[in-house]
Amino acid sequence: MCSKPIPILLSPSARCYCCFLLQRTPLHFQTMRRSLNPLLQLSSTPLRHCQSLSFGSLHSSSRIEGFLKSRGGAFHRLEFSCAYRSKGLRMSYNGSDSSSAPSVVARKPSISFCQSCGGQTKQVIPDGEERTRAVCTICGKIHYENPKMVVGCLVEHNGKVLLCKRKIQPSYGFWTLPAGFMEIGESALEGASRETLEEACAEVEGLSPFAQIDIPRIGQVYLIFRAKLKTPNFSPGSESLECQLFSPEDIPFDSLAFSSIIVTLRMYVEDIKAGNLKFHYCTINKRRGASMTDPNGFDVDYLSPS
C-alpha cells in the first residue's frame, strides 16, 4: 500500500450519508472534521475518538476500513484514489444499517476547466461553505453545479398516450415521453411544448402539471405535463425513430427508456384505473450497484398528497 498521504474529498451529494469520495485534494483536518460531522450525522464528540486516524494523512485502505467499521455500519461504500498511484482503489463495506441508507454514490465532478479563464479547476471546500466545488486554480472562480430541469409532455389523445422511440443514445430504440432539458429564457411549460414539437412534431395545448420527479443521484428534476394534441397530427422528429399512441394497457413497460418515464407512466395508469388524475411528487433513488442505464435499478419515494 502506498505510504504517501491520501487526502480526502467528501461527496458532493446532499443526500449522501454513506459514501466518501477520496481524491487528491488536500484538506485541512479542521475542515474535514467540520464536514464529516454532519455527513456522518455525528456530533463532534464521536469524531474526536477518531483523531488518532489522522485524517490529513491516511495511509492505507485498511486504516480507512477500520475507521468505517468503528462507526458502526453507517457506510456502505467507499471510493478513493491515491495521488501517488496510477490507479484508483475501490472497496465496499456493508454496514448493518446500510439498507436504510440512501444508495447514493459520489459523482465525479464534471467541471475540469474554468469557464472564465480556461485554467484547471480543483475540488475544494471554499471558505464559509460546506461542500466541495470546482475552484479555478488560476483566477479562483468558484463553479457551482446544480441540478438540471427536464420538462416533457404526457400527451393524451382518444384515451391513448403518445410515446416516441428514441433515435439517440442513451437508450436508443427504447420508448419515452417527449421530454428534454429546459432552456434558458423559457418556462417549463414552453420547454415541454417545444420538446414535444421537436421529438414528435406535435403541437400541444391545455397543459397541466402531472408529476415532479427528483433524481438526486444524477442531479435531475423532471416536470411532466399532461397535454392534448392541438391537431391529430404527429410524426417522428429528428431524435425519434417513430411515434405512436398507446392505450394505457398497451404501454410497453418492458422497453421504456428511463426510470422517470416508467414511474410517470405507472402513476398515470394507476390514476386512470382509479378514475382520479392528480399531481404527483416523488423521488427516484438508484439502487446500490445499479447502472445508470438500468431503468429498473431504482426505488421510489412517493409523497402522498395530504
Q: Which residues bind Zn ion (CB under 5 A)?
A: 114, 116-117, 119, 136, 138-139, 141
Nearer to Zn ion, 44 or 112 (CB): 112
Tell me how far, at minimum, the Cβ of 136 lies from Zn ion, in Å: 3
Tell me how far, at minimum, the Cβ of 83 lies from Zn ion, in Å: 22
Distance of CA 179 to the CA centre of its chain: 17
Nearer to Zn ion, 34 or 143 (CB): 143
Nearer to Zn ion, 117 or 218 (CB): 117
Nearer to Zn ion, 114 or 267 (CB): 114
Spatial CB neighbours of 100, under 8 Å, sequence gap ≥ 6: none
Tell me how far, at minimum, the Cβ of 113 lies from Zn ion, in Å: 8
Give the H or E element holding residue 162. strand 160-166
Question: Per 3-state DSSP, what percentage of the chain is helix, strand, and coil (rounded to 5)?
Answer: 25, 30, 45
Tell me how far, at minimum, the Cβ of 126 lies from Zn ion, in Å: 14
| Residue 64: CB atoms within 10 Å | 22
Nearer to Zn ion, 95 or 119 (CB): 119
Q: In a 10 Å sphere around its CB, with 0-12 CB exposed, 13-18 middle and 19+ buried, how is residue 30 labelled? A: exposed
288, three cell numbers: 446500490
Give the H or E element holding residue 265. helix 259-274
Tell me how far, at minimum, the Cβ of 118 lies from Zn ion, in Å: 7
